Structure 1
Amino acid sequence: MRQNPSFAMTDVSELRRLVDRNPWATLVSSADDGPVASHYAVLLDDERDDLTIVGHVGKPDDLIHGLGERELLVVVQGPHGYISPGWYGDVASVPTWNFVSAHLTGIPELLSPDENLRVLDRLVAHFESRLTEPRLMWERPNDEAYIERLARGTVGFRLTPTRVVAKRKLSQNKSADVVERIIGELSGGGPYAQPELAAEMQRALDARGAER
């Protein structure tokens, strides 16, 4: 991902927030036959305060990626959406796409079966916690044999990135009144409405105002 200093995202707390709110990630590596990609949910390592993430892949994805043997690129994609030039007002302009994204690269560490089970348990609890009647991994009708059989079909990993490239392109190069107009369009009912992106833009705009 080409970096632009105006849009660079370097604050660890903001990057952690991005990962926490957008756990569905793309895993990319370079295999003998060329690039390969998989899609899995990841979580921040709850024993660390950096950008270390944990997750799992299904077998044989671990072999396809050479998991633990070579670099793995984890792409975390936040809110994104189309920005019409008409939203800038009567000025020369072209369309663009606003987005928040991070690339975390490193050689993952393979987890032991017990560690993998803990990560799987965390993943289920993380997503089920939003439901009024959560169905946790160890609850009936699941039994220990069933869970362990499924877990054997997965490989858990922990990745502490050695390279991070993150970008938050939210019209920071535009005036506050133009940004507010874009936020209004994204918050409306038009074909390119994207409330989550509007919220991120508002958050960035508020931060810009607080720095002045």
Structure 2
Amino acid sequence: MRQNPSFAMTDVTELRRLVDLHPWATIVSATEQGLVASHYVVLLDDDRDDLTIVGHVGKPDDLIHGLGTRELLVVIQGPHGYVSPGWYGDVPAVPTWNFAAVHLSGVPEILDAQENLRVLDRVVARFESAMPEPRLMWERPNDAAFVERLERGTVGFRLTPTRIVAKRKLSQNKPADVVRAVIDGLAEEGPHHNPALAAEMERALIARADAGSTA
């Protein structure tokens, strides 16, 4: 991802927020057969306060990616969407695409069976707990044999990134009133209604105003 200093994200708290809110990741590695990409859930390591992530892949994706031996690129895609030039007002303009993304690179550590079970349990709990009647991993009708068989079909990993590239392109190069117009356009019902992107832009706009007031 080409970096632009105006759009760079460096605040670890903000990066952790994006990773936590958008756990469906793209995992990319370079193999002898060419590039390979897979899609899996990743979570922040709850024992760390940095950008270490944990997750799992299904077998044989671990072999395809050379998990534990080769560098992985994990792509986290935050809110994104189309921005109409009409939202800029009566000035020359072209459309663009606003987005937030985090790239985490490094060689992952392979988890043992107990650690992998803990990660699998966390993944299920993260998404199932919101259900009216949650079916957590260790609850009936699942039994220990079923869960342990499930674990044997996966390979868990922990990735502490050695390289981080993060970008938040949210019209920061536009005047605040234009950014407000774009937020309003995204918030309105219509073909490009995008409340998640509007909220992310609102957050960035507030941070920009706060930074200006303390400068």
Structure-1-length-normalised TM-score = 0.99
Name the SS for the 1:98 alignment partner: strand
Q: Which residue of 2 aligns with 1:71?
A: 71
Counterpart CA distance in 2 for 1:196 and 1:130 is: 20
SS at match of 1:184: helix
Q: Residues 41-120 of structure 1 correspond to what in structure 2 (within 5 A)?
A: 41-120=41-120
Deviation at 1:131, TM superposition (A): 1.8
**TM-score, length basis structure 2:** 0.98
- What one-letter code is carried by the residue in structure 2 that aligns with 1:162? T
CA distance in 2, matches of 1:202, 1:137: 37
In the TM superposition, structure 1's runs of 4+ consecutive aligned residues that sit over 4 Å from their partners are none
Amino acid at match of 2:78: G
What stretches of structure 2 of length at least 5 have no aligned partner?
Answer: none
SS at the partner of 1:191? coil
Aligned length: 212
**CA distance, structure 2, for counterparts of residue 31 and residue 85 of structure 1:** 41
Deviation per CA, 1:44-64: give whole Å up to 9, x if none: 000000000000000000000
Aligned to 1:148: 148
Q: Please state how far the C-alpha of 1:129 moved relative to its aligned partner.
A: 1.9
Percent same amino acid at aligned positions?
Answer: 75
The one-letter amino acid of 2:10's match is T
174-183 vs 154-163, greater mean Cα deviation: 174-183
Contiguous gaps of at least 5 residues in structure 1: none
The one-letter amino acid paired with 1:15 is: L
1:207 is matched with which residue?
207
Q: Distance in 1 between matches of 2:187 and 2:208?
A: 20
Q: Distance in 2 between matches of 1:207 and 1:27?
A: 31
Q: C-alpha offsets along residues 144-185 of structure 1, whole Å, 9 cap, x if unaligned?
A: 001111110000000000000000000001111111110011
The equivalences for 1:145-184 within 5 A come to 145-184=145-184
Number of the residue aligned with 1:197: 197
1:207 CA displacement:
0.8
Match of 1:128 in 2: 128
**What amino acid is aligned across from residue 205 of structure 2 in structure 1?**
L
> Partners in 1 of 2:135 and 2:177 — Cα distance?
46
**Cα distance in 2 for residues equivalent to 1:131 and 1:197:** 26
Question: 1:140, 1:86 → 2: CA distance?
Answer: 55
Q: Which residue of 2 aligns with 1:9?
A: 9
SS of residue in 2 equivalent to 1:3: coil
Note the C-alpha offset of 1:135: 1.1
Give the distance between the partners of 1:157 and 1:149, measured in 2 at CA: 18
Taking the aligned partners of 1:129 and 1:51, their CA distance within structure 2 comes to 24
Partner amino acid, structure 2, of 1:155 = V
Deviation at 1:89, TM superposition (A): 0.6
Q: Alpha carbon RMSD of aligned pairs, Å?
A: 0.6
Letter paired with 2:208? R
Q: Partner of 1:9: helix, strand, or coil? A: coil
* Structure 1 match to 2:19: 19
How big is the shift at 1:130? Answer: 1.8
For 1:164 and 1:8, the matched residues in 2 are separated by: 11
